[in-house]
Amino acid sequence: MPLGALRPSPLVEQATDRLREQIAGGHWPVGTRLPGETTLAKELGVGRSTVREALRALAGAGLVQPRHGSGVFVIATEPVEDWPTRLRRAAVTDVYEVRMAVEVHAARLAAHRRTPDDITAIQAALERRRTASAADDAAFVDADIALHTAVVAAAHNAVLADLFADFTPALRECLVTMLSLTGLRDQDANTGDDTHAALVRAVADGDPEAAGAVLREELEGTLALLREQA
């Protein structure tokens, strides 16, 4: 099955797409060694440097693997999804369950490790959440997430902070949608203020048990609402 010469335009992207199509279509099964760069360049009608960049892109997608002295071998027929992509495709309740595990632990650590600056930042975030109660759902959710982000930051664990940041886009979307569908703020525009205030107090007081318990209760309540909407 000939590859066919490429049209001018972004050649690396075209070469990558053409080779990906061949791999996905089974032309080169998993375990197969790809033809050499010279052969591929001739069939595609491009230079070897273009082929080299295309192979590098395929390796980054987890489709091929260069083996020193042996060539480039097919190791998968479908690209590996990166973490943010997997989060976007995951069920909202699954994401929230993982969020709960990450954030409850972070809150406990924050109660141990918070500094005076952290306490100031967390308390300011709580006040901004209260102010945002006069705004629309999207602004309120943004302020809510900012408070949770401040608590996670006070744990002083870069991996936990990065994980929470990865969750944020999916969380924001599902929370805005949930508020819209449930009308939760119709009766109380600042819904959840008591639990969030209790969380801030527990972190400021250096009480990890209370911080974890309060946050778990708050997140479990939200998760129950999300399951009702699923």
C-alpha pair distances (Å), 114 with each of 39, 118, 198, 204 = 60, 6, 16, 7
| Helix, strand, coil tally for the chain in percent (to 5) | 70, 5, 30
Is pLDDT of 9 > 50?
A: no
Is pLDDT of 154 > 90?
A: yes
Write out pLDDT tens, residues 36-85: 999 999 999 999 999 999 999 898 888 899 998 889 999 998 876 666 66
| Whether 204 contacts 119, CB under 8 Å | yes
Distance in angstroms (rounded) separating the CA atoms of residues 58 and 50: 12
Q: How confident is the model at residue 8 (pLDDT cuts 50, 70, 90)?
A: very low
pLDDT of residue 170: 82
C-alpha pair distances (Å), 89 with each of 60, 83, 84, 92 = 20, 10, 9, 9
C-alpha pair distances (Å), 187 with each of 126, 163, 173, 190 = 20, 33, 22, 9
